[in-house]
Amino acid sequence: MVLTPSFVEYLIWGWDNLPRILLIYYTNFISSPEGYFHTVICNVPEFAQTAVSHDLHYIAGDNPPKQYPHILTINDTNEMIASGAAFARKFKHDDPFLDKIDKDLLCRKNGSLTPG
C-alpha cells in the first residue's frame, strides 16, 4: 500500500475525527490493516478520488472459493506473469520457485538486491 504524505497527515490529525473513530472500530479485527486505510480513504471526499481500485497483487483463489488463496507454485508462472501484477502471494517459505522468480523475472543475483 502506498499512502501520500497528505493522507498520512490526515490520518494523524484527522480534523473531522474519522480516523480515530475507525481506528477504535478496527481495533478488534484480526486483519485490521487490510480494511482500515481503505475505509478511511473511501469515506473522505478529499481523498476518495485518489484511491486506486487495484492492489497490484496476483492471488490465485482456491476452487471452490475458500477464505485463503492457494499457495503459488511453478505451475502458476504463466498466469502470474500475464496478470501484469507487481506483487504476488502466497508462496511456501524458501520455495525454489522464489529463487526462479528472483533469477528469471527480477534478474536478481543470489544474495544481492534487485536491479533498478
Q: Are 69 and 43 found together in one domain?
A: no
Question: Per residue in 34-93, pLDDT tens?
Answer: 788 889 999 999 999 988 877 788 888 776 666 778 889 888 889 988 988 888 888 999
Would 111 be classed as within a structural domain?
A: no
Q: Which amino acid is at 96?
A: P
62 and 101 housed in the same domain: yes
The reported pTM is 0.56
> Smallest Cα–Cα separation from 90: which of 72, 65, 64, 75?
72
Same domain, 19 and 36: yes
In a domain, 115, yes or no: no
| Contacting residues for 76 by C-beta, under 8 A, at least 6 apart | 60
Give the residue carrying C-alpha cell 536491479: 115
Residue 113, domain member (yes or no): no
Regarding whether 10 and 42 lie in a shared domain, the answer is yes
Counted domains in the chain:
2
Examine the domain organization and report whether 101 and 63 are in the same domain: yes
Give the CA count within 13 Å in the CB-facing half-sphere of 108: 13
